[in-house]
Amino acid sequence: MTQSNQKLLKTPCYDLHLEASGKMVPFAGYEMPVQYDMGVKKEHLHTRSQAGLFDVSHMGQLKLVGKNAAKALETLVPVDIIDLPEGKQRYALFTNEQGGLLDDLMVSNFGNHLFVVVNAACKAQDIAHLQKHLPEDVEIEILEGRALLALQGPKAGEVLKRLLPESADMVFMDSRVVNFDGAECIIGRAGYTGEDGFEISIPAEHAERITRLLLAEQEVEWIGLGARDSLRLESGLCLYGHDIDQTTTPVEASLLWAISKVRRTDGARAGGFPGADIILDQIVTKDVIRKRIGMVGLGKAPVREGAELYNSNDEKIGIVTSGTAGPSKGAPIAMGYVETKYAVLDTEIYADVRGKKLPMLIQRMPFVSQRYYRG
């Protein structure tokens, strides 16, 4: 093992991945499984038809404690946190003064505290951001000793109901603290695949036992980072650092749905977050140079991140930020940015792949139907 590998962190499920012949790769400072013996395509299709289990313990898990926690966090995101009901979670965005995106995150309200999950690669930066901006009466508790598993797929609800009957009445974006086989776990009915599913935060000392319980169910298979990426892309979900970053505003990123009405220009608590003037002006004027779009290839060759996009006159108009073969879609799919005037459904554009211009059609995302459980 090289010195650089020795510095990589391991999740509480690391030994289970080795046991399952997981192919381990460096990812966000951790040794993570990119795939197992089944292979990326079969793992992807299994999640779409059965239930896949993902180790996402590399993500950052935090508690914000204090009666003013919601009010304080709301000053950093263009999202309604103050009125987030207890037992519910919401997708949020950290913005900077230029209106760019520092990270995307999930926030759950548990009454006496907020539970926050941030991206692995942004974890240290996000914690520093919170420590700098939150008032002294809001305590930031970093939950170091917990695993985080995602159980995803059309059979996920059925599987978890057998092991944890009280999960059955949860709907999409519900959050709950439960006793799962003697462990105090935090579960949310959500995920990153477009399928029904749950994210389960488990104390590290119970992680192996509970993971084995889940894997013992006939519908459940380990799924690696490779299929996680193709599943989220088919579902039109952004990957931070690729499809969104500090130079991208929510309007450019086509994330208007993530900006709560109460925080917009005519809302009761308009603005009050970093970059608000820029973002709110863009919403009203629609004056942005580029927009995030989805594309479906008209041929068979996949188009990868970094491929340049051209119009019919061979003029460069944008770039691909994510691309995959689209196993469920049955066609190559990608997302990326183009000059706003080209961001029109059914427009044919061309991706440069090793000197060949491959035709792609701008299409609505998600590329496959999202199947979240709403009751």
Is there a single domain that holds both residue 373 and residue 300?
A: yes
Ramachandran angles phi, psi of 157, nearest 5°: -60, -45
Is there a single domain that holds both residue 37 and residue 181?
A: yes
Q: Let me know if 252 is exposed, middle or buried by CB neighbors in 10 A (0-12, 13-18, 19+).
A: buried
Please report whether residue 276 resides in a domain.
no
Please report whether residue 193 resides in a domain.
yes
Please spell the DSSP secondary structure of 300-338, one letter per residue: SS---TT-EEE-TTS-EEEEEEEEE--TTTTS-EEEEEE
Is there a single domain that holds both residue 48 and residue 185?
A: yes
Q: What is the pLDDT of residue 5?
A: 47
Cα-atom radius of gyration of the chain, to the nearest Å? 21
pLDDT in tens, 123-133: 999 999 999 99
Out of 234, 252, 281, pick the residue that ends a domain. 234
At residue 34's C-alpha, the angle toward residues 33 and 35, to 5°, is 95
Question: pLDDT confidence of 6, banded at 50, 70, 90?
Answer: low
pLDDT at 10 over 90: yes
pLDDT in tens, 284-328: 999 999 999 999 999 999 999 999 999 999 999 999 999 999 999
Is there a single domain that holds both residue 312 and residue 213?
A: no
Is there a single domain that holds both residue 228 and residue 297?
A: no
Strand partners, 195: none
Out of 197, 219, 234, pick the residue that ends a domain. 234
pLDDT at 3 over 60: no
Please report whether residue 164 resides in a domain.
yes
Q: What is the pLDDT of residue 308?
A: 98
Please report whether residue 88 resides in a domain.
no
pLDDT at 176 over 50: yes
Is there a single domain that holds both residue 156 and residue 48?
A: yes
Domains held by the chain: number: 2
Is there a single domain that holds both residue 162 and residue 53?
A: yes
pLDDT at 57 over 60: yes
Please report whether residue 330 resides in a domain.
yes
Domain that holds residue 352: 289-375
Out of 189, 206, 234, pick the residue that ends a domain. 234
